């Protein structure tokens, strides 16, 4: 997860047009892409949309309890 979040932060630090999910998926390493696609949609959306003022993922806002429930 740490590598995935770091990659997303790096990818989204550059300008893009169109669908953010398609843009990110096209740039992720194969390993991170597998993790991203494994995550429930609501969690992967949080990774793409909730950014801090510096453009980084707001990890504290990711609903970890919901993530664990959805993965069971």
Confidence (pLDDT) at 50: 67
- 50-68 burial, b at 16+ Cβ within 10 Å, e below that, comes to eeeeeebbeeeebeeeeee
The answer to whether residue 16 scores a pLDDT higher than 70 is yes
Residue 14 lies in domain? 2-71
- pTM recorded for the entire structure: 0.80
Contact 5, 29 (CB under 8 A): no
pLDDT in tens, 27-66: 999 999 999 999 988 888 888 886 777 777 777 777 777 7
Task: Give the CATH number of the domain where residue 48 resides.
Answer: 1.10.10
Residue 45: count of CB within 10 angstroms of its CB: 13
Number of domains in the chain: 1
- Work out the average pLDDT over 6-15: 91
């Amino acid at each position: 997860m740490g590598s995935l979040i770091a990659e997303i932060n790096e990818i989204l630090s550059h300008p893009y047009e169109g669908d953010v999910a398609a843009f990110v998926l096209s740039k992720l390493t194969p390993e991170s892409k597998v993790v991203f696609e494994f995550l429930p949609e609501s969690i992967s959306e949080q990774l793409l949309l909730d950014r801090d003022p510096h453009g980084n993922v707001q990890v504290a806002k990711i609903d970890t309890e919901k993530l664990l429930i959805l993965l069971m």
